[in-house]
Structure 1
């Protein structure tokens, strides 16, 4: 049975993720409320949110190692409540941008704290299973949060979207604050920071894998919609269906976390990263076949969920006393890869098309696959080859 604390962590990710994704589908509605602003201008607030999240994760996430991840999460959620309330009441785009910047500061502190708490509350031998449930918060934000926000903006008003998210964040802050069963935290004996975290053995190789993994995802995901709409001339609805298929695949992978606990992280990593590489290669080969791409989006979500589970769990186990700082570095790299992926893949998409982007994404996964395979016991490596 899923514990109340795991549900609180899942809900926290869902609210944070919904806010990070919600502006895109309601941008036109938001722009209509501000004089002289278009939908593209509204997305400036989303860019500010991403940069603020990366900056916060780098500079503030280590606070969780000193005051406790649960206290850091409560404070971050309370700041998020204020930010979302200001967003709902924004009289101008400038105020909305400031509100999203504040929300980014909260998210950059909250996400590392959530992953830290997921490691703390997990029962021995069920670490990946617990983390898998927590990660479904991203599915909730993508499938439910984004879809419902668009409907709410049409039926009620776009301001109602942020008001509901603010109420959700407030409820979660109260729930996290009242709960006491957050497991045993390993306190740092010295002050932690990104610099101390970078001295943890194995962290640099792990973060390089994170950068390659996230660039592969965000680079390809950014241009999936343009490929379907512009290159294949499919309706916008189909692009939404592809996103839905990815989200469903991501959510369906949650129960598979128990297989990681059963067979071990290294075995799971080899299978997962090999599978993800094949998915990217398949997307390159089927770039002109919409129906096959839709099926591959489900497989993409499945593989990405398990890969993310492996990456996050591996990072949290490097040094339990510096989980906050380590996960802060992880979140920083993740949000920087949102920009890097879009920037680096743009000329690839413009000159060579979506298939080339998928091939580059496959190449980005190969180092992680090679590292995982090299860590297998000799007998297993020989059997795998």
Structure 2
């Protein structure tokens, strides 16, 4: 079971992504199992997952530069598997919240370690192409994780969803144990959690990442409930959302070499400008279920390219502190997830899905402004 490094990194992203995206499609099912709790109450688990990820990414991930990113990734996946198993066995809703917080601690180290290793093994001049291949793990998590979650929940119950994810996580750990360790750059300096804040250019890059991620997670969390409650779709049909999104996200990898060819600064304004238009289109289509699902295809394409630009920019800032830099990125990402899941929930209850989509467009405007300035 010896796998190439890129496949291992892709598998790690798949496990992290599947856990983070699986709650929304089955939120109503989990609520019914615990006394009729609302989707908003269940999705507190998603907020706590984001908070745990942010805490670990800022406070723990920088130490990956000391012990080596490969070892840090293995330990992080162990913690993530523990959280997913705890979710599957939870006897009460508060245990689901706690287990997802634990899963977040593992994810907070796993993602920066994965992205850092991708940057280390990528040949010079092909960084965006390599990042694109690793980001394909998000496609797998969307197509085979989030989409399958709705189907599995319909057939075997929501507990089976996280039970399957925990089992897949154990397989990833086995593959990592049997495969050669990837080459690593270790930091000579101490790994202070805040040391990366002194890296030139990191402030603007993190601001772009925060707005971008808040726009995605805030709207995604309430996509499935909108289709179910407002438009009357059953839970198994809601799986079409991550499926179509994931297909678009995966196909966008064909465009990653163009980022290497033309340069990130030239491509970024088009990508982030297109994303603003994308969210406005989702707002306009809020009353038509199949139109929303169709737009998820272009949403996936643009989000893949945007994520590649953001991670590639951060990974290039300081090779010796990639764990710390990318840890701050994950911290900002899941802090944005925590705030957006709660904040967009209030907006959705008060003003509806259209207002959430328009708020997502506003969240991307700083990224567009930064891209125009840098160009």
Distance 1:145 1:242 in 2: 12
Residue by residue over 1:255-275, the C-alpha shift from the partner in whole angstroms, topping out at 9 and shown as x without a partner, is 221111111111121221122
Q: With structure 2 as the length reference, what TM-score do the two structures score?
A: 0.87
Relative to structure 1, is the Cα distance of residues 47 and 289 closer, same or farther in structure 2, using a 3 angstrom cutoff? Answer: closer
Residue by residue over 1:42-70, the C-alpha shift from the partner in whole angstroms, topping out at 9 and shown as x without a partner, is 54444432322221112111121111110
1:281 paired residue number:
280
2:323 paired residue number:
324
- Report deviation, 1:288: 4.2
78-87 vs 25-34, which deviates more?
A: 25-34
1:253 paired residue number:
252
**Residues 30 and 39 in structure 1, CA contact (< 8 A), matched pair in contact too:** no
SS of 1:198's partner is helix
Query: RMSD of the TM alignment (CA)?
Result: 2.9
- Report deviation, 1:92: 4.7
Distance 2:25 2:124 in 1: 41
Relative to structure 1, is the Cα distance of residues 226 and 153 closer, same or farther in structure 2, using a 3 angstrom cutoff? Answer: closer
2:123 paired residue number:
123
- Report deviation, 1:115: 0.8
Q: Which structure 2 residues correspond to residues 1-385 of structure 1 after superposition, within 5 A?
A: 4-27=4-27, 38=37, 40=39, 43-156=43-156, 158-180=158-180, 182-185=182-185, 187-229=186-228, 233-236=231-234, 239-346=238-345, 348-349=347-348, 353-376=352-375
Residue by residue over 1:140-180, the C-alpha shift from the partner in whole angstroms, topping out at 9 and shown as x without a partner, is 22221133334444544544443432332222223224433
Residue by residue over 1:299-330, the C-alpha shift from the partner in whole angstroms, topping out at 9 and shown as x without a partner, is 11110110011001100111111111111111
Aligned residue pairs total: 371
Distance 1:66 1:323 in 2: 11
Q: With structure 1 as the length reference, what TM-score do the two structures score?
A: 0.85
- Report deviation, 1:245: 2.3
Distance 2:18 2:294 in 1: 24
Relative to structure 1, is the Cα distance of residues 253 and 163 closer, same or farther in structure 2, using a 3 angstrom cutoff? Answer: same
